Every structure is written in structure tokens, then in C-alpha cells.
Amino acid sequence: MSTVANNKPAALIFLHGLGDTPAGWSSLEYQLPSIKPSLSNLTYIFPPAPTIPITINGGMTMPGWFDLFDWPIGVGCQNDEEGKSKAVAQIGECVDKLVKEKGIDKNRIVIGGFSQGGAVALRAVYQSEEKYAACVNLSGWLTFDESTMKKSSASVPLMWGHGSFDDKVLFEQQKYGVDKLREMGVEEIQDSSYPVGHGAHPNEMEALAEFLDKKLFSGEEEAEK
């Protein structure tokens, strides 16, 4: 016996990484429902990053949510505060559009991303007064501290997946970020690692589908079959 599934409309906003486009992750719209059919009910939004000069690229322009000054990206890397703030504002506009045009409540919206996109997703969720459904950070990193985290967001659950061989956003970023977020009071963090470099693993996609289904649609697990 199981609880009644939550059928209210829901959405996933997912941000791509540096140098990528929305097409790089748009397959999630088909991949995730193939693992969990309930996720076919999601509205999927893949916003494009602006094209900006990137310091580690010699100042040449490419799609990026904010500038990068260090490579690889390890704990203690320099921070483009202005760029990240603009990125968070752009995601806020996506959220407002979903609310107005689709009638989706903010507490039914998951914000996630890969690499740079994951870093922005963390800020968009945990520096906001809003209580979103969940946050997903795949191979991203933490770029803020307790001074700018909103305590009201501490109850928003987080999935953090990371490749254990990541040589771009170093694997050390996961433990550092997860430990810091727990210190800041984030109540639920599902952190897992996968034997890949800076990319996604099939098991990670399965874990993502399970996480989204549980947070948005399933409610309690079946007590008996």
C-alpha cells in the first residue's frame, strides 16, 4: 500500500556547464522519464548561459554563467561574485516565468546544474528566501558561506553527485562543499561519487531520477507490494 502520489505540476530548471549549450543536457527530458516514468510529468527548462569573456580562456568569449580565474577549480579558487549574481538573477526570471505562465508553485520547482551550472544552482537555492522543492549539483562547487545563506532554505534537500576522477572541478570540492553546507544547517544532503572524470555516469542519472521522483511525485515508499 502506498500514499497518493503528488500530481501537482512541477518543473526542473537545469543549467549547463562552461562552453556548453542547453542542447548538452536537454536529453534529460527523455532520459529521466525512461528511468522513472513519473518524470514525464515534469516541465523541463534548460536556460542558456550568456556568451562572456572567460579569463582562463585568454579572455576569449564562450557560453558561461560567470568568469573563471583558476584552472583546475580547487578549493579556494577565485570568485566572480558579480557574474554569479547575474546568473542567479537570470534563473530567478526563469522561476517567475514558470509561476506566471505554467502556474507551478516555487515549492514544486527543482533547480539544478552541471559544473558551473551546479555552482549557480546552489546559490539560486540556498541564497534565496524561497523554499524550492530541491537542488541538484552535479560536479559543481560551493561559492558562498554562511554570511549569505538564507536560513529559511536549509530545509531544501540537495543531491550532489561528483566524479571521483574529476580533473576540472576537483573531487575535493564535493567533500568541502557538503561539509560546509551541513555546517550551515542544510538538513538533507544526498552525496555520491562515481568513477568518472568531469562528466556524468549512468548510475548518477539513475540516482538523479530516483531523487526527483521521491521529492516531487512518490511521497512515502510503498509499505508492501
Residues with a known catalytic role: 115, 166, 198
Which residue is it, cell 546559490?
A: 123
Distance CA 217, CA 7 (A): 7
Report whether 120 contacts 144 (CB < 8 A).
no
Q: How far is residue 194's CA from residue 2's CA, in Å, rounded to a whole number?
A: 31
Alpha carbon separation from 225 to 7, 36, 88, 96, 153 (Å, rounded) = 21, 18, 43, 40, 35
- Angle of helix 81-97 versus helix 116-126 axis, rounded to 10: 70
3-state secondary structure of 151: helix
Cβ–Cβ < 8 Å for 125, 25:
no
47 touches 13 (CB < 8 A): yes
